[in-house]
Amino acid sequence: MLNLDDEQDKIIKSLDGTPTLLLHVCCAPCATWCLKKLAPHFDVTLYYANDNIYPVDEYEKRYLELLKLVNFINNKKCDIEAVKPVKLVKKEYDHQAFEKVALGKLQKEGGPRCFECYKLRLQQTAEFAKDFQWFGTTLSVSPYKNAQWLDEIGTSLDCNAKWLPANFKKKGGYQYTIEFCNKYGLYRQHYCGCTPQTEE
Ligand code: SF4
């Protein structure tokens, strides 16, 4: 089994210049550590595409927290350094797209529904990433997310951009997200995104 965190470190060391990266982002807390690691090396655009999140008010709330984080970084008000200003793109919310892939699969974090949920979001990211050099996701920072599944999906997608392997929960990544949110007052949600509404 590949050590995805080491693989990412090797890629970062071998970079020439500041390549563009489209980074799928689930929420501001998870983005903190991923940007701490990546924004000094890549020209990062965050892609907020999370049809799984329910209800829509929660989708909007998490987006606004991301905007706050991006402003902190771009205005140098926190310890995350970015070689280029961080950009943020929001996909239009389409919860039905999630329901289509989730229906019939029980809501249990780490279960088959999550595999389909990752796949939906990474497919959407790959479609948007055509003009980028790299694409990836913040999802692996959560201890509940399966980094090997994410890598399996990411490497299988047909995209001009190269997939960036990751297991951001390594090297204290998850702990950093908690400490950052406490320090800067960022909202940390208490559930991943989906609800029993789409259960069997
Ligand atoms: S628990 Fe999270 S990752 Fe799994 S299906 Fe629900 S929203 Fe998606």
Nearest CA to ligand 1 atom 3: 114
Domain total for the chain?
1
Ligand 1: nearest atom to the Cα of 110:
4
Distance from residue 30's CA to the centre of ligand 1 (Å): 15
Nearest CA to ligand 1 atom 6: 194
Q: Which residues pair with 44 in a beta bridge?
A: 21
Under a CB-based contact definition with an 8 Å cutoff, are residues 193 and 59 in contact? no
75's torsion region: left (phi>0), alpha (psi -120 to 50) or beta? alpha
Cβ 193 under 6 angstroms from ligand 1: yes
- Would you state the pLDDT for residue 111? 86
44 membership: H or E segment, kind and range = strand 43-48
Q: Which CATH number goes with the domain that contains 12?
A: 3.40.50
Cβ 109 under 6 angstroms from ligand 1: yes
Counting ligand 1 atoms within 8 A of each CB, the residue from 114, 197, 200 with the most, and so the one to mutate, is: 114
- Would you state the pLDDT for residue 104? 81
Cβ 126 under 6 angstroms from ligand 1: no
- Total Cβ atoms within 10 A of residue 82: 19
- Would you state the pLDDT for residue 103? 86
Sheet holding 43-48, edge to edge: 87-90, 43-48, 20-24, 134-137, 162-163
Residues in the chain: 200
Q: List C-alpha distances in Å: 45 to 24, 88, 198.
A: 9, 6, 31
Nearest CA to ligand 1 atom 4: 114
Residues spanned by the domain of 172:
4-198
Per-residue pLDDT of the chain (200 residues; tens, 9 = 90+): 889 999 999 999 999 999 999 999 999 999 999 999 999 999 999 999 999 999 999 999 999 999 999 999 999 999 999 999 999 999 999 999 999 999 887 777 778 899 999 999 999 999 999 999 999 999 999 999 999 999 999 999 999 999 999 999 999 999 999 999 999 999 999 999 997 544 43
- Would you state the pLDDT for residue 109? 79
- Would you state the pLDDT for residue 200? 37
- Total Cβ atoms within 10 A of residue 1: 6
Nearest CA to ligand 1 atom 2: 192
Q: What does pTM read for this prediction?
A: 0.96
- Would you state the pLDDT for residue 199? 41
Cβ 199 under 6 angstroms from ligand 1: no
For residues 22 and 45, give the distance between their C-alpha atoms in angstroms, rounded to a whole number.
5
For residues 169 and 143, give the distance between their C-alpha atoms in angstroms, rounded to a whole number.
6
Q: What is the residue whose two structure tokens read 């970084």?
A: 73
